[in-house]
Amino acid sequence: MTHTISSDETTYIALADAVSPLPILTPPHPTLRQKARLVQPEDIPNIQAVLPSLFAAMYKAPGIGLAAPQVGISQRFLIIDLGQKEDSSIPPIIMINPEIIQESEEMAEREEGCLSLPSQYAAVVRPESIRVKWTTITGETREYEADGLFARCIQHEIDHLNGVLFVDHLSALRRNMILRRLSKKLKQS
């Protein structure tokens, strides 16, 4: 099944210009290390209310993906908008309770950054392609086979839902070096 942009996603994106962006958390905020809880049907109205501010935060940063825990909401939802990146044919997307149901054996290394670790980058190895299943904001179940940047972004954001940062895929030495550098930078600003 292919993903097409829905009127709901378009609505939330359009509203992003009219709202204040949510602040993006940085380590050592505890929400970034918690496994987020599953979204229940009764959570949807609150998620709908926060989505414009979530898109606003992602666009202001600027970034291509943002998971709810990064703005202090410990629930399993995320947004992605690759915009003008290499996979620009992929429309903006809202994923509720996403799960990776299949990973390729082929791995790929690519530099990653994170809105919760501003100006910090490192090469991370991840599966090159995945199959992901999620629920839309209107309650439909979707599946999609993703590769390249889109697959990497999905994996990165789902890591956030599990309390994992991209630096957790690195050696302890490299991870600690990045986290110390970030801490120093945040104290200076």
Q: Where are the domains of the chain?
A: 7-188
Distance CA 16, CA 55 (A): 6
Answer yes or no: 112 catalytic: no
Distance CA 86, CA 95 (A): 20
Rounded to an integer, the average pLDDT of 45-61 is 96
Is residue 90 predicted with pLDDT exceeding 90? no
- Joined tokens for residue 65: 């993906």
Phi, psi of 110 (to 5 degrees): -155, 150
Distance CA 59, CA 155 (A): 20
Cα 103 to Cα 109, 126, 173, distances in angstroms: 15, 9, 28
Q: If we measure between CA atoms, which residue out of 11, 114, 104 comes closest to residue 55?
A: 11
Distance CA 35, CA 1 (A): 28
For residue 88, the model assigns a pLDDT of 63
**Confidence category of residue 83, pLDDT binned at 50, 70, 90:** confident
CATH architecture assignment, domain 7-188 = Alpha-Beta Complex (3.90)
For residue 189, the model assigns a pLDDT of 78
> Who's near 14: CB < 8 A, 6+ residues apart?
none
Cβ proximity of 116 and 179 under 8 Å: no
**Confidence category of residue 85, pLDDT binned at 50, 70, 90:** low
Catalytic residue from among 9, 112, 128, 157: 157
Rounded to an integer, the average pLDDT of 125-143 is 96
Is residue 5 predicted with pLDDT exceeding 70? no
Distance CA 110, CA 102 (A): 20
The whole-model pTM stands at: 0.92
**Confidence category of residue 1, pLDDT binned at 50, 70, 90:** very low
Say what angle helices 7-15 and 44-60 make with each other, to 10 degrees. Answer: 60
